Structure 1
Amino acid sequence: MAIIVDESSKVLVQGITGREGGFHAGRMLESGTRVVAGVTPGKGGQKFRDEVPVFNTVAAAVEETGANTSVIFVPAPFAADAIFEALDAGIRTICCITEGLPVHDMMRVANYISENEATLIGPNCPGVLSPEKANVSIMPREIFTPGNVGIVSRSGTLTYQIVNELTQRGIGQTTAVGIGGDPIIGSDFIQILKKFEADPETECVVMVGEIGGDAEQRAAEYIRREMQTPVVAYIAGFTAPEGKTMGHAGAIVSGGESTAQAKSEALRRVGIPAAENPSQVAELVADALSRG
């Protein structure tokens, strides 16, 4: 079973007429995802690829098409408003691909998300992909295959590498969720791990973390207390120099418990195998699945 998105997802693309939105909306359509609408203010009445209607507002798109999932490619200065607009139109599953959202904007978004009991993935993330069910992401669907392993990751690129190596070993995936690497995000590790734990088809979960913050330590404690599904981890940033931002705004080594080594050790202390490098993850997953 997939989590967050599946065959019932009716996807709306905010920013569908832009370069990035149009490119990835096309790939979603090619993968069989039900892209039912696009939204670009001022361009309502057009059609994307002669099949997807474009609307001026999310409310009009939802009323006309019944869209229940949004993916956002709106530029950073307007992305928070795009999230608010989707929520106000009744959409409760939102993936914000946009990077560079101001932290202050995300503070307002986080409060509004909790008030509306919605699921926000991102921002600054690759989205969500459930193989052969729904692609609400910028991930390369060609490397995925249906199976029984869930992935939750702060890093988009490492997600692709690990998924590809799992697929090459004949290990398929239920859903891959890229939660993003910003300091404030819509869904953290624990929120996604809860969904995988409740999914009867997910028999193992891969958690990919990064330097900075304590999200991985909090996830480790949750896994120890609450999860029966085995979890395998990898923490990126073993060679990161202290005090440097490594790609993501939230990936800053400040020493102590925020290092990759400290996070990996915290995971191992509660019985979670933590790989030394990305290529070891598939091996650890295969071992976890073989032990049932």
Structure 2
Amino acid sequence: MAILLNANSKVIVQGMTGSQGMQHTRRMLASGTRIVGGVNPRKAGKTVDFEVRPCSGAPSHVYPGSMTVPVYGTVGEARAITEADVSVVFVPPPATKRAVMEAVAAGIRLVVVITDGVPVADSVEFIAYARACGTTVIGPNCPGIITPGSSNAGIIPADITRAGPVGLVSRSGTLTYQMMDELSDLGFSTCIGIGGDPVIGTTFINTLAAFEEDPATKLILMIGEIGGDAEEQAASFIKEHVTKPVVAYVAGVTAPEGKTMGHAGAIVSGKTGTAESKKRALEAAGAHVGHTPSEAARVVRELLHS
């Protein structure tokens, strides 16, 4: 079991023929993702050959060799031919809104937006459109989603962990990777980097609800950051709706007030959005909060082993 992404997911890559799209398509193929096509109107009808070397976390059906991926002119065409249900977006910020809305209009159920620097007004528009149409958006400005040993949609390294009982949701890309590595011996059901922009598609609450319903997830690990009130909202949801153990870490304890730290979503205004306020809210909701990422990992081990 997994949430949102599994071994049967058929993935297309919008912007596959660009430098980032090519690099990460190769990595996704190497981790077992069923990539059924790319989308680029200027290269429709062509194919791209990828030399694939399976990573250490790849499923057994992935063999070394060349894999040919067709390029389609539109998402609608790609979906009609391949029955794709997931799209990963690697297009420049000015083109992101159009790309996401095209995927939603074509009936793609999950759109993973890797692009950084997307105008907030654009994010507001395409996320509202996606929600109205029943499409899930992860991001923008996110590392994506991985179900270890099954599928990987985005830029998350697949060779640093394995399948297991921990569900991970994080606002930080690098901390996502660190926690996956520190707990690689335990493994994860699904890992999601929801992104650090002020406006994002999938939230902590969306993911917590999905992990609560997923029988393969025995414990939820949540990585927050300073800025906004997403963690406080998540704490209220945990208190009322989550029965599984939750371990959390909030980055930014030493961040000065009123400063943007790292990205636009990590800004503290007065006493709102501080790491301490988030920590208190999560602890009051019953979550176990680590003071460092390594301490959070230790708590995860203790809870699972007990």
TM range (shorter): over 0.9
The equivalent residue for 2:13 is 13
More off after superposition, 103-112 vs 11-20: 103-112
1:106-125 matches, within 5 Å, as: 106-125=123-142
Write the distance in 1 (CA, Å) between the matches of 2:113 and 2:236: 28
CA distances 1:148-183 after superposition (whole Å, capped 9, x unpaired): 00000000000100110011xx21100000000001
Q: Deviations over 1:99-158 (max 9, x none)?
A: 111111111112101211111100000000000110001011110111000000000000
Q: Which moved more, 1:193-202 or 1:44-53?
A: 44-53
* 1:89 corresponding residue in structure 2: 106
Specify the SS of the correspondent of 2:43.
Answer: coil
1:44-88 per-residue CA deviation (whole Å, 9 max, x = no partner) reads 111121610001111111111111100000100000110000011
Tell me which of 145, 148, 153 is aligned to 2:165: 148
Distance in 2 between residues matched to 1:71 and 1:18, nearest whole Å? 13
Q: CA deviation at 1:246?
A: 1.1
Q: Aligned-residue CA RMSD in angstroms? A: 0.9
Corresponding residue for residue 260 of structure 2: 245
Matched with 2:46 is 46
Which residue identity is paired with 1:14? Q
**What residue in structure 1 maps to residue 292 of structure 2?**
277
What whole-Å deviation, never above 9, does each CA across 1:252-284 have from its counterpart, x for those lacking one? 012313101111111112221111011111111
CA distance in 2, matches of 1:7, 1:253: 40
2:123 and 2:110 mapped to 1: Cα distance? 16
Correspondence for 1:35: 35
Q: Once superposed, which parts of structure 1, at least 4 consecutive aligned residues long, lie more than 3 Å away? A: none
Partner of 1:201: 216
Query: 1 CA distance for matches of 2:204 and 2:263?
Result: 16
Tell me which residue corresponds to 1:64: 81
Distance 2:156 2:131 in 1: 27
Amino acid aligned to 1:162: M
Q: Secondary structure at the match of 2:41?
A: coil
In structure 1, runs of 5+ residues without a counterpart are none
- Give the TM-score normalised by structure 2: 0.93
Of 212, 217, 233, which aligns to 1:218? 233
**Unaligned stretches of 5+ in structure 2?**
50-66
